[in-house]
């Protein structure tokens, strides 16, 4: 198990371009989770921590891809139909007993082993029954409907590399190798909380001047979607000692601690002081909108991440910045950046150069069949309905100026910043 270094999140005071800042963060952090072995049925969604090397060929024997008739290609009439006697039956799990007869066909079923001497399979719907034989059409190629030993995986081949979150197809591939268990990283454990005497739990009352907690639920959901085990510490009061005690306890058995808001310079922003009492806190002034200030620090062996307080800024900053850090801490070193898809802008937007911006948008199709992005009308970081309406984010890079209708822009679907 690794821990983040004390100086890992130290930065300068300048406004840092997004790509540069993210690159620095990725270079400075490493997985902090341990390793364990889990049963194959429990491996879905876990992060692989070692190579999976095949100990066998897949398939392990030549076999038929269809229900039909197996023959030797050399027994076929070159330019016409061929009639062959059916000399046997081969079912899956039941190899032919004995050698094949020359000039004979064999009834065979999908997945059944094709014995030596036969190399081509006719689909049953293409043949004509003729007493004890079959009439086979002309024109079939040698090796048709024939699956060769090892055509999927060869013995000794590395089929899964560490650092990837295991998908259903990955688990299925491991099963095809005969793996009953897989080596994975332990789940990253995150603690999350909100602060503020004005913040109330949904389901209760919210008197004048109070509001229901939003970010604790949205950020917790984002963490859960990427496979993190979340502990909800609830709402902490505006009490410095209470916050220090909660952070101190959480740092003992969690890898990451997250909050939103509460780390600025206001008299009631006690989280910043609490983190500094227990460890260290550094602000990254990224040239981005929404978000800009995001806090990274360390409390004992736990990484601290302070997201912006506005609901939209909190979610977007998590998706575009904190997510990459958390995935790296969780062992997902093979993670690729979210894909950007080129679409047309169905909006105009005044943007200044010098910072990267993410606009909430959804897709539509214009009269020429081209995908277009429609921007949510409001740009406020507190308008959470924009995230509900949107299907993703339009990303405008630092050197991009104003956007006109029809301009090409990059679109990041929400699916690219979740699983």
Q: Is the pLDDT of residue 419 over 70?
A: no
- CA neighbours closer than 13 Å in the CB half-sphere of residue 100: 23
pLDDT band (50, 70, 90) for residue 305: very high
- Smallest CA-to-CA distance from 96 within 104, 85, 108 is with 108
Q: Write out pLDDT tens, residues 88-130.
A: 999 999 999 999 999 999 999 999 999 999 999 999 999 999 9
Q: Taking the model in full, what pTM does it have? A: 0.87
More confident call, 268 vs 253 = 253
Taking the CB of residue 211, how many other CB atoms lie within 10 A of it?
10
> From CA 24, how far away is CA 34, in angstroms rounded?
24
Res 176: pLDDT: 96
> From CA 229, how far away is CA 381, in angstroms rounded?
27
**DSSP conformation class of 41:** G
Q: Write out pLDDT tens, residues 3-29.
A: 677 678 888 778 899 999 999 999 999
Helix (H) or strand (E) holding 109: none
Highest mean pLDDT among 161-170, 203-212, 268-277: 161-170
| Domains of the chain, first to last | 6-33+186-330 (3.40.980.10), 35-53+154-185 (3.90.105.10), 63-147 (2.170.190.11), 341-414 (2.40.340.10)
pLDDT band (50, 70, 90) for residue 267: very low
Res 206: pLDDT: 84
> From CA 207, how far away is CA 205, in angstroms rounded?
6
What average pLDDT does this structure show over 272-296?
Answer: 88
Res 291: pLDDT: 83
pLDDT band (50, 70, 90) for residue 68: very high
What average pLDDT does this structure show over 248-255?
Answer: 95
Q: Is the pLDDT of residue 268 over 80?
A: no
State what percent of residues in the chain have pLDDT above 90: 78
* DSSP string for 236-255: E-S-HHHHHHHHHHHHHH-S
Q: Write out pLDDT tens, residues 358-379.
A: 999 999 999 999 999 999 998 8
* DSSP string for 328-355: HHTT-TTPPPPP-EEEEESS-B---TTS
pLDDT band (50, 70, 90) for residue 269: low
Res 261: pLDDT: 77
What average pLDDT does this structure show over 51-68?
Answer: 97
Res 263: pLDDT: 66
Res 394: pLDDT: 98
Res 260: pLDDT: 85
pLDDT band (50, 70, 90) for residue 322: very high
């Amino acid at each position: 198990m690794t821990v983040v270094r004390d100086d890992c999140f130290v930065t300068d005071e300048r406004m840092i371009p997004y790509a540069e800042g993210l690159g620095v963060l990725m270079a400075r952090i490493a997985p902090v989770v341990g390793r364990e072995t889990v049963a194959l049925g429990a491996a879905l969604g876990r992060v692989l921590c070692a190579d999976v090397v095949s100990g066998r060929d897949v398939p392990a024997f030549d076999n038929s891809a269809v229900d039909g008739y197996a023959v030797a290609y050399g027994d076929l009439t070159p330019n016409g139909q061929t009639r062959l006697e059916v000399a046997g039956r081969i079912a899956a799990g039941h190899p032919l007993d004995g050698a094949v007869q020359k000039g004979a066909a064999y009834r065979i079923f999908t997945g059944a082993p094709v014995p030596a001497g036969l190399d081509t399979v006719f689909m049953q719907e293409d043949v004509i029954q003729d007493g004890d034989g079959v009439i086979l059409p002309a024109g079939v190629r040698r090796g048709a409907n024939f699956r060769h030993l090892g055509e999927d995986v060869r013995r000794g081949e590395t089929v899964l590399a560490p650092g990837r979150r295991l998908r259903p197809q990955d688990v299925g591939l491991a099963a095809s190798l005969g793996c009953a268990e897989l080596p994975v990283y332990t789940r990253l454990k995150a603690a999350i909380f909100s602060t503020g005497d004005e913040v109330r739990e949904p389901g209760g009352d919210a008197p004048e001047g109070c509001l229901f907690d939003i970010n604790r639920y949205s950020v917790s959901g984002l963490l859960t979607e990427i496979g993190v085990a979340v502990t909800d510490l609830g709402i902490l009061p505006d009490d410095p000692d209470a916050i220090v005690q909660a952070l101190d306890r959480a740092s003992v058995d969690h890898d990451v601690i997250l909050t939103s808001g509460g780390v600025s310079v206001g008299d009631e922003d006690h989280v910043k002081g609490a983190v500094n009492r227990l460890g260290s806190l550094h602000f990254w002034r990224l040239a981005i909108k929404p978000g800009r200030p995001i806090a990274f620090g360390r409390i004992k062996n736990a990484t601290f991440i302070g997201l912006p307080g506005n609901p939209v800024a909190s979610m977007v900053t998590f998706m575009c910045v904190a997510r990459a850090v958390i995935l790296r801490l969780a062992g997902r070193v093979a993670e690729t950046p979210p894909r950007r898809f080129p679409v047309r802008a169905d909006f105009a937007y005044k943007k200044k150069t010098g910072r990267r911006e993410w606009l909430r948008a959804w897709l539509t199709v214009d009269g020429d069949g081209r995908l277009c992005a429609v921007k949510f009308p409001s740009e406020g970081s507190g308008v959470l309905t924009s995230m509900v309406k949107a299907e993703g984010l339009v990303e405008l890079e630092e050197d991009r100026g104003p956007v006109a209708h029809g301009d090409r822009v990059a679109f990041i679907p929400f699916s690219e910043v979740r699983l």
